[in-house]
Amino acid sequence: MASRRQTEGEGVRLPELSRRAVLGGTSASVLALPAASAGPTPVPRSLAESNAAAPFKRWLYLNAKIERLQTRWAQLESWLAREHSWFQLSPAEQQALPWAQELRDIDGCLDLLFEKRDEVLEALPTHGSAALEVIAAKLEVAERLIWAADHPEAHALISGSRQDILTLIEAV
């Protein structure tokens, strides 16, 4: 069988994992559900409220990761433009620079994270939140989705409402 690896010799190695595979695997493990128990276990209300906010927190986590990678991309690209005249180089010359690999890695990670973030966004509940923590998390997602430069009034209302709810939560 040609698809099986040989077990003799020094050339035997496990396949290398790509960053995309590692990111995908770790993301899937975070979303994995716990195994079913023998019977229903009562869930404390505060834990149930925390679980209700989990999808929103997941979206915020993915969004923060995307923002960090985009910042790194911008820093690296600016440095390459300043130090190596990046934009004057041909594509082949760009690929010859060792830092081009990091840009490709970031690009692959961003593609995967954009897909995951969009999937989570589509699954977010739009109504039915009774807990202040969930409403605050929902408003934080809305705050990130609406750009302050495009809609300053709407962004300010959402941001202010979220801050008001957080103040209420602290007071309770």
The pLDDT profile of the chain, 172 residues, written as one tens digit per residue, is 444 344 444 444 444 545 554 445 544 444 443 333 344 444 344 545 568 899 999 999 999 999 999 999 999 999 999 999 999 999 999 999 999 999 999 999 999 999 999 999 999 999 888 899 999 999 999 999 999 999 999 999 999 999 999 999 998 8
Split into its structural domains, the chain has a count of: 2
Dihedral, 111, 113, 116, 120 alpha carbons, nearest 10? -130
Q: What is the per-residue pLDDT for 130?
A: 86
Give domain status of residue 23, yes or no: no
State whether residue 2 is helix, strand or coil.
coil
Q: Are residues 82 and 118 in the same domain?
A: yes
Residues 118 and 167 in one domain: no
Distance between CA 68 and CA 27 in Å, rounded? Answer: 17
Quote the tokens at residue 168. Answer: 């209420």
Reading the block at residue 153, the tokens are 């009034």
54 with 119, same domain? yes
Q: Under a CB-based contact definition with an 8 Å cutoff, are residues 69 and 110 in contact?
A: yes
Together in a domain, 58 and 116: yes
pLDDT at 51: 85
Q: Which residues contact 21 (CB under 8 A, 6 or more apart)?
A: none
Per-residue pLDDT, 172: 82
Residues 85 and 109 in one domain: yes
Question: Is 17 within a domain?
Answer: no
61-to-67, 116, 120 alpha-carbon distances in Å: 10, 11, 11
Q: How far apart are CA 106 and CA 115, in angstroms?
A: 14
Which residues span the domain enclosing 100?
Answer: 50-124
pLDDT at residue number 18: 52
